[in-house]
Structures are given as C-alpha cells and as structure tokens.
Structure 1
Amino acid sequence: MQTVCVLLILLPCQVWPVIVDSSILVQGVVGESVSLKADLPQDFEIREIIWKHLTSKEEIVAMSFKGSVETLYRSRFLERIRLLSNFSLEISQLELGDSGTFKALLVGTEGQLLMRTLQLTVYEKVSKPTIRVFISGTDLHHFSGSRCEVFLTCTTQNGSDVSYIWQRKDGVLGNETYSFLDGGKVLRIQLEPSDSQAAFSCTATNPVSQELTAVIPWSNCKGKTDNKVTACEYKYLLFIILPLLILFFSAAITGIIYFMKCSGKKPLKGSENGTEEDGNASSLV
C-alpha cells in the first residue's frame, strides 16, 4: 500500500481505480528458468512497474521507472532475475525456496493502476525410482510353491511432492489381493503360480516430471525362499554333526589317556622284574 501511495504522488491528481486480477498459478523446475508474465491488457501503455516477492514482508525484486530498469535490490533473487522488454519477470537457476507469491504493480501512462498476482511453485524433478522386494516372514519358512506374499517398496533419491502409482502390466490391480501402505510407497501383494511372469511397475510422478521402474517379483520370492531353506538345512546339519564330533573327540581323548596310562605301567613292571632277576643271578654266583 505504501508503494501505491508513492506512485500516486508521481501521477496526476486524478484518482484511478486499482484493477486486481485473480492469482495465476505458475510452475517452475529446480535449476531451470521461469517467466512471470505481466499480461498487459490491450491498449494499456505502461509507464512504471514494480515486481515484489511476498514473504513475511514485501520485498522488491525489480522495477522499471520512466524507462530505467532496476534489479539490484538485495533479495534472494539477486543476479538471478531479469526484467524483459514486455515487463515480464524472468527468474533463472530456480531453487525450491523461490516458491511463493509475486505481485506486479503496473502504472499506465494515463495513471491507470493494474495489479497482477502470481503464485509460483518450484518442483524438483523426480529421479528413476528403485523397487525393492521383501518376502513375508511366514512364506520364508513355509513356502508351498502355490502362494507368496511380497512387499514392493518404491523410492526415489530426488524429487519434491512425489506421488507413486502402481500398475500391473498385464492387468488391473484388484482390491482382493493388493493393498497400499505408507502413502502408496509400498505395495502388498499375494502372488500365485500364475503370476510367475507378472510384471509390476511403479511410476514416481510430480507436476513437472515422472519416471517408471518395473520388476517381476515372483523370481525374487522363490529365490529368497530357496536361500532360506538352504540356510535352515545347514543349521539342522550342525545340530546333528556337532554332538557327534564332540562324542568322537571325547572318545579319542579318553583312549589316548588310557593308552598313556597303560604304556606307563609296563616299563615300571619290567624294571621291577629286571631287578629281581639280577638279584637271583647274583645269588647264584
């Protein structure tokens, strides 16, 4: 309002109504440029324009006064903004923090006032999503080959305001065997043998981009189960072999001790007999 009053001082004393348009939605992409159009009415000859960015306060980002363009205000857009010949505001190297409300106050050569309001939302493009397959703990231990419950998770490294869309390439997801968790990031599904070649895709999307990844989860399901069964078999083998090894070593050690004791007694008896024989021989002499 202060800006309007200052401009009115520079205008003739005649009071002109301020024409305010409804807010216009504009989308931008991180790292790219966007143009906020002034959209001048037909036969509207502009004399001055002020572009402002509304945060906690009104911040002037660019203006043109009597043909002189000024964009050197100390705002977050410093050195990233340019006022075009049609009085539109161009912002380059967009950042997520650039989102917000912009207002353009235009003054005509006859003193008319026109106010434009634009709502800018900056998005980061989504990266290609990654799908990970997790097998239900019950199925890991009791895989019958007829059914497998899996959880598919879909994540992206980059992207703002991302939504996730799951699809089955050879049909439509049914409510009976499918459910969505964590805001659509996780798909819970019951697979049958007939689903062995079924591919499921996750599309990560936002208003400015989308990326897709697909997997065939049945192979992961069976492969994970087989690995688990093999591990269990090794565990059972250890339970059987380990006690046998302990018994074997115990018997071997007992045998060695017994042998050592037995071998130690024989020389002792021999030496005693030898002494007695020597004594007898001496007596005979």
Structure 2
Amino acid sequence: MEWDFYPQRGGLGLWLGEFRHGNLEHPSPTDRFGQRLDMVDETTLRIRDLELDDGGTYNARIWFTKAQFQEQSFSLTVYEPVPTPSILFQEVFQTSEGCSVTLQCQAPGREEFSISWKRGNPPRALGNSLYGDFQLSDNGRKLRVFWRKGSSDSAFTCLLSNSVGQKNASFELLKICPSDEGE
C-alpha cells in the first residue's frame, strides 16, 4: 500500500511513502510532514499535529499484483481555530433623534469566516426594530446602525464562525451614543 498527497491550496503532489512489512517507509523524513506520519494499522495513515497546509487530497493505492491495484482518495480540510473578533466603530453622527454609526467586525487570521450580527442582550437577530435601522456591507463585516434614543437594544454582537467553532464580541452603543436617560 502506498500514499500520496496533493495540497488543497495548490502546489506539487508529494509521495508520502508505502506501508511494507508492517512499517511506513517514508522516503523523506525531512519533508513538510517530517516525523508526523505513521501507520496505525495496515490501512490507516495517521498525521500528528495537523497544520493548516495539511489540507488536501490523500490517495491510497493498494497493489494486488504488479499490474493490478485499487485506489481510494480522501479529502481532508483543516480549519483554523476561530479567533475572538473585535469591533471598531467609525463615522459617528449625532442627531436629535439618535445616533448613526458604522461598526466593523475584525478578525485576525488568514481563513475566511462567516460573519453575522445580533442585537440586544441576550443577542437576537437584527430583524426590524422600531428603534433602529441596519445596513450590512463589506460581506457582512460592516454594520451601519441608526440607533434611536430610548432604545433598549444598544448592544450589538459580531459572531465569527466556521465549520468547527464560533466566537463573538459585543459593543455597547451607549458608550458613544448618549441616550436621553439621565440627561
């Protein structure tokens, strides 16, 4: 049985080695997989300490004779852990009815994450509100809010997610948009 690998992000394929006489014969223990490969049993390849660039297609070829074999392909996706986002505000405009502000959800990392916004405490869908108007832009990264004074929904939450996790950050508009209470 032999194994090869084709990276998800493009690049040249790599022959990983072959399982022979109960061992994985790895042709180059100094390649990108180093000593992270081993065989659990006759048919199972294990990769320890997964890295983002380990995502791709792994092909296993089982040879029955010199001319007869069967090939099986396995697709592996490695996800970056979801980082904690942060919310920046910009373009704050005060009016007698309320405040207009743009909130921007920022996340470190190279992976694209799904971004959504919620309002209130506890957070719920933006939806329609008597106390605010919302507009999304920049693939959901920016939320333009017109927040009316007296609204109880002054907290906004940015949710960052991928297939394996979710994290969020919240921002309180009362920090930058004064309400009529206490004035």
TM-score, normalising length: structure 1: 0.52
Q: Which runs of 5+ in 1 are unaligned?
A: 1-48, 224-285
Give the greater-gyration-radius structure (CA): 1
What is the alpha-carbon distance in structure 1 between the residues aligned to residue 24 and residue 106 of structure 2? 46
SS in 1 for 2:102: strand
| CA apart distance, 1:58 | 3.7
Q: Tell me how far apart the structure 2 counterparts of residues 58 and 159 of structure 1 sit (CA, whole Å).
A: 23
Q: How does 1:266-285 map to 2 (within 5 A)?
A: none
Indicate whether 1:70 and 2:25 are aligned: yes
Which residue in 1 is equivalent to 2:150?
Answer: 194
Report the Cα offset of residue 102 of structure 1.
1.1
**Aligned equivalent of 1:4:** none
- Report how many residues are paired: 169
C-alpha separation between the residues in 2 aligned to 1:60 and 1:192?
A: 62
- 2:108 matched to which residue of 1? 157
> Cα offset for 1:197?
4.4
Equivalent residues of 1:129, 1:212 under 8 A apart: yes
Residue 96 of structure 1 and its aligned partner are, at CA, apart by 2.2
2:103 is aligned with what amino acid?
A: L
CA shift for structure 1 position 180 = 0.9
- Are 2:6 and 1:54 aligned? yes
- The normalised TM-score by structure 2 is 0.78
**Greater percentage in helix:** 1
Provide the aligned C-alpha RMSD in A.
Answer: 2.6
1:173 is the counterpart of 2:136: no
1:211–1:86 Cα change, 3 Å = farther
Which whole-Å CA distance do the structure 1 matches of 2:178 and 2:106 have between them?
23
Using a 3 Å threshold, how does the CA distance of structure 1 residues 112 and 58 change in structure 2: closer, same or farther? same
State the alpha-carbon separation in 1 of the partners of residues 25 and 170 from structure 2.
Answer: 51
Report matched runs for 1:1-285 at 5 Å: 49-54=1-6, 56-73=11-28, 74-108=30-64, 113-136=69-92, 139-140=93-94, 143-144=95-96, 146-158=97-109, 160-169=111-120, 171-174=124-127, 177-222=133-178
Name the SS of the counterpart of 1:123 in structure 2: coil
TM-superposed deviation, 1:105: 0.6
